[in-house]
Amino acid sequence: MSDPGSRIEDLVALMARLPGLGPRSARRAVLHLIRRRGTLMAPLAQALAEVAAHTRDCSICGNIAEADTCDLCRNPARATGEICVVEDVSDLWAMERGGAFRGRYHVLGGTLSALDAVGPDELGIPRLVARVADEGIREVIVALNATVEGQTTAHYIAEALAPTGVTVTGLAQGVPIGGELDYLDDGTIQAALRARRSLQG
């Protein structure tokens, strides 16, 4: 009865669960939407419903897909013999914005963590190893965040891939210590990709 109706309160509570929006900014966002109910709120509701209904995880690489496999895995031009391993779909998007990488991806969905019980299976590492032979991969570029967890996971992946004989490289120059890919400018990512170094030996 007090201020916003319960239907609006429910909406504010849902909006407040978005990253970067607290309770106050969620209220402002909802008010902004209500003022534009025809031009923004209804189209946003529709777009959210459609994406929710039509997205899934690509069964090959873990990217977001609108079918069983994603656009990148279905695109023959991306069969370059290279796979880029990223932690998260947001990192894949950052790599694609950079535009320097033309191969395919493996999205881990996290990093190894004993604490959170995230092991190689949870990250699809056996599936990645299988792809190297199946798809005739020559090089796996491990593009993980320059954090302790990222680098631990990168070394684990390099060891898991060693028996396949594939070249395993990592992004080098340009990624600052502790930096996260998604916050880097596109030029930095391109430079780091060009200067990639071997993780072996």
* Binder of Zn ion out of 15, 60, 89, 129 (CB under 5 A): 60
The CA distance from 197 to 154, in Å, is 13
Which of these segments, 16-24, 66-74, 110-118, 137-145, binds Zn ion (CB under 5 A)?
66-74
Q: Is residue 61 near Zn ion by the rule CB under 5 A?
A: yes
From the list Zn ion, its own copies, none, partner contacted by residue 37 (C-beta under 5 to 8 A by kind): its own copies
Reduced 3-state DSSP string for 79-115: CCCEEEEECCHHHHHHHHHHCCCCCEEEECCCCCECC
* Binder of Zn ion out of 12, 26, 30, 58 (CB under 5 A): 58
Q: Which residues pair with 197 in a beta bridge?
A: 170
Q: Is residue 85 near Zn ion by the rule CB under 5 A?
A: no
Q: Is 174 left (phi over 0), alpha (psi -120 to 50) or beta?
A: left
Q: Is residue 128 near Zn ion by the rule CB under 5 A?
A: no
The CA distance from 68 to 60, in Å, is 9
Closest distance to Zn ion from the beta carbon of 58 (Å): 3
The CA distance from 84 to 129, in Å, is 13
From the list Zn ion, its own copies, none, partner contacted by residue 34 (C-beta under 5 to 8 A by kind): its own copies
From the list its own copies, Zn ion, none, partner contacted by residue 17 (C-beta under 5 to 8 A by kind): its own copies
Closest distance to its own copies from the beta carbon of 63 (Å): 9
Q: Using alpha carbons, select from 67, 48, 49 the residue that is nearest to residue 58.
A: 67
* Interface ranges with Zn ion (CB under 5 A): 58, 60-61, 63, 70, 73
